[in-house]
Structure 1
Amino acid sequence: MQQMMALGQFVFSLPTLAYNEFKRTSNWRHPSNSRVGARPARQSLGPGDDTITLSGVLAPEFKGDPRAIEQLRAMGDKGNAYALVSGRGEVFGAWAIESVNETGTLHMDNGAPRRVEFDLQLVRVDDATADATGGTPGTPGVPATDDGWEWWL
């Protein structure tokens, strides 16, 4: 199985949940002090918020696991931070789930949506706060680990 990205042990891929847009916003802090007759003086205080938004479409009848969004919600409920690693092996650091949004359309007669658009908002946190267990056990396509560290390697 080819993975697009992993948040802890949750793997983004076609069989689970595929995103089609990756948006990252990085900010730096530069507070100002007013001065008479001159522009405000600014001082760099270092990095500010760093956010990633993953957006995509889940089509349960075609590809994707309808339980995947609920697994992300369960991870968000824990309030933990998780390592974010791309399918190319790029390590982004520790990220916490800030919000999960979903919109279901094209509903069947039983009320189940045929198309679910989602947005996942992640916020960067200090790497030391990452959950060592990697998040939700039992993520489809990801084997469970005994000691909780294999996912990090």
Structure 2
Amino acid sequence: MLMCLGQFAFTTDTLTFTEIQRQRSWQYADNAVATGRKKRQFIGSGDDNISLPGLIYQEHGFGNRVALDDLAAMADTGQGFVLVDGSGYLYGVYTIDSIDETKQVLLFNGVPRKIDFTIKLSRVDDDRIEQQTGANT
């Protein structure tokens, strides 16, 4: 298993991504000072976004195109899901923002032999995870 998002497991049978792109930011308020540089005050964590680009070659046993529909159904709920990788590293709780897919090399009946996809996730606060991991201690 590469990673789990809620109960959805990323494996070679379902979906495999080629990399994990994570972008985190922090927020500051700027305060003007009469003589000198402005002062910055830390006001909290900003966005935490993850992109998972990958490929599906279903006829070669690499992914399943129906798995994208399973993730879309999860996104339709509007809920956040716990994201954890195969080593047990807990990323936090994320919502599914978008799923981009490109179907290529179509057969005569319209079935794609290759699908490129990108899943975009955004972290949401979940007090239950923070309490269990001791993030606030």
- Range of TM-score over shorter length: 0.7 to 0.9
Look up the equivalent residue of 1:118 and give its one-letter code. F
Matching of residue 124 in structure 1 with residue 123 in structure 2: yes
Determine the C-alpha separation between the residues in 1 that align with 2:49 and 2:96: 10
Determine the C-alpha separation between the residues in 2 that align with 1:112 and 1:46: 47
Look up the equivalent residue of 2:31 and give its one-letter code. N
What residue in structure 2 maps to residue 101 of structure 1? 100
Output the TM-score relative to the length of structure 2. 0.87
**Which one has a larger percent helix, Structure 1 or Structure 2?**
2
Determine the C-alpha separation between the residues in 1 that align with 2:128 and 2:69: 23
What residue in structure 1 maps to residue 135 of structure 2? none
Q: Which has the higher contact order (CA 8 A, sep 6+)?
A: 1
Q: Percent identity?
A: 38
Determine the C-alpha separation between the residues in 2 that align with 1:35 and 1:100: 45
Determine the C-alpha separation between the residues in 1 that align with 2:10 and 2:102: 18
What residue in structure 1 maps to residue 132 of structure 2? none
Determine the C-alpha separation between the residues in 2 that align with 1:98 and 1:129: 22
Q: Is the 8 A contact 1:31 1:42 kept in 2?
A: yes
What residue in structure 1 maps to residue 55 of structure 2? 57
What residue in structure 1 maps to residue 133 of structure 2? none
Determine the C-alpha separation between the residues in 2 that align with 1:106 and 1:31: 50
- Give structure 1 stretches of 5+ with no counterpart: 131-153
Q: 2:13 aligns with which of 5, 12, 15?
A: 15
Determine the C-alpha separation between the residues in 1 that align with 2:103 and 2:47: 30
1:31 Cα deviation from its structure 2 partner: 2.4
Aligned residues: 128
